[in-house]
Structure 1
Amino acid sequence: MADIRKGSPLRPVRYALWALVVLALAGLGWFQFVAPRSGTIADAGTASLGRGDYRLAATDGTEFTQATLKGQPSAVFFGFTHCPDVCPTTLGDVASWQEELGEAGKDLRVFFVTVDPERDTVEALREYVSWVPGVVGVSGTPEEVAKAIKAFRIYARKSPQEGGDYSMDHSSTMLLFDANGDYAGLIGYQEERERAMASLRRLLES
């Protein structure tokens, strides 16, 4: 067994390794908890979020592109209509947020972009989001959806199930964009209500 007692040449190496571990943990904490809420886009490396040449169809009859994010504050969430829990829960949260924001939230646009274009047509999405006022569903060809997933840096992967069916594993965060179309933070899945509302009010006031 290596000798790491006082005076051992391995002792400084051990301290250096522990220092690297501490720095790595500190950096991870910054990117997970501080950077997304700091408003410092360059620090988080998210300045290009939402930027791309995707062209998708929205349930309100419009086209969803990079330009769509400009003009009003927006919240963008990726999911699918066969989602068993995360997506309906998030839509429920959106309905609750809208109720609390009241008139102040009238300018907030919420987009539900499918990660399952093979099953989620615009018509299917229109029915799926219809119970939450103001939420716009977004779909398109698999190729265009893939472009959007890449542009928003979303994780999405088909997960095979028994009987030839499948589900979708996907990111569960709500991405926020200001009226200039710039990334302005995120709301995590089932995030504490007070923090979520603070993020939304800050977005609407920006």
Structure 2
Amino acid sequence: MGRTLAIAAVAAVIAGLGAAWYAGRPGAESQFAQCSQSASGSDIGGPFELVDTSGETVTDTDVFTEPSIVYFGYTFCPDVCPFDVSRNAEAVDILAERGISSTPVFITIDPERDTPEALADYEANMHDKMIALTGTPEQVAAASRAYKTYYSANKDGTDEYLVDHSTFTYLVLPEYGFVEFFRRDVTAEQMADRVACFVQNS
């Protein structure tokens, strides 16, 4: 399966799960309908164990203590990830200006190169509130499966390989779990508006 087809398939799965969730969860449609512009679903997200930049194992409940803007990427990404992560960090700052505290979360899909030490530098450079997470390949794969993300390393025998991956950003609320995803064409201001809507209606 090519990269474009694989990412399109992931989007279709997310949309399909979201339609089923909104149809089947009492009260959810009325609670968040005015906030969502993307299908969201209770089958997306879930428990995980990963490793933070201090080398400590953390769980999803340790990480998601307030509204969290979550992205799966990798630090060696030459263009897409820096843009998306910077956009997410800007949304966090806009929300802070509106009195809403939130956390940008970065989960690597390249644990071989993204060690806790490497992620510590990335975390510090991207945002002072960022939580960057890695883990064993098995832990990372499990977190990726939970959020229905796609990634595939194009290893070429060097340390400069690229990783194809989906580029959705996820909104997770502590009391509700995953509630929304954002595509790359959403601006920081638009993201902040939608996050604020979810927070105010939660």
Flag structure 1 segments of 5+ consecutive residues without an equivalent: 1-27
Residue in 1 that maps onto 2:15: 31
**Count, aligned residues:** 175
> Is 1:200 matched up with 2:184?
no
CA distance in 1, matches of 2:104, 2:159: 33
2:148 to 137, 146, 153: 153
> Is 1:140 matched up with 2:135?
yes
> Is 1:90 matched up with 2:84?
yes
Q: CA deviation at 1:149?
A: 0.8
Q: Is the 8 A contact 2:67 2:102 kept in 1?
A: yes
Max radius of gyration: which structure? Answer: 1
> Is 1:121 matched up with 2:115?
yes
- Which segment is superposed worse, 72-81 or 162-171? 162-171
Q: Is the 8 A contact 1:50 1:66 kept in 2?
A: no
Task: Name the aligned partner's letter for residue 192 of structure 1.
Answer: T
Flag structure 2 segments of 5+ consecutive residues without an equivalent: 1-11, 23-28
CA distance in 1, matches of 2:158, 2:64: 43
1:59-82 deviation line (CA, Å, top 9, x unaligned): 266543232355421111100010
CA distance in 2, matches of 1:122, 1:163: 21
Q: CA deviation at 1:110?
A: 1.6
**Aligned partner of residue 180 in structure 2, secondary structure:** strand
2:42 to 21, 44, 47: 47
Q: Percent identity?
A: 29
**Aligned partner of residue 199 in structure 2, secondary structure:** helix
> Is 1:108 matched up with 2:102?
yes
- Which segment is superposed worse, 95-104 or 110-119? 95-104
Change (3 A) 1:198 1:45: closer
- Which segment is superposed worse, 189-198 or 107-116? 189-198
CA distance in 2, matches of 1:106, 1:61: 29
CA distance in 2, matches of 1:64, 1:76: 15
CA distance in 2, matches of 1:48, 1:92: 28
**Aligned partner of residue 133 in structure 1, secondary structure:** coil
CA distance in 1, matches of 2:188, 2:102: 17
**Aligned partner of residue 197 in structure 1, secondary structure:** helix
1:169 to 161, 164, 180: 164
Q: Is the 8 A contact 1:95 1:133 kept in 2?
A: no
What's the TM-score, normalizing by structure 1?
0.71
- Which segment is superposed worse, 118-127 or 157-166? 157-166
Q: CA deviation at 1:100?
A: 2.1
Residue in 2 that maps onto 1:65: 59
CA distance in 2, matches of 1:120, 1:68: 20
Q: CA deviation at 1:142?
A: 0.7
1:114-163 deviation line (CA, Å, top 9, x unaligned): 00000000110110121212111000111111111111111011123485
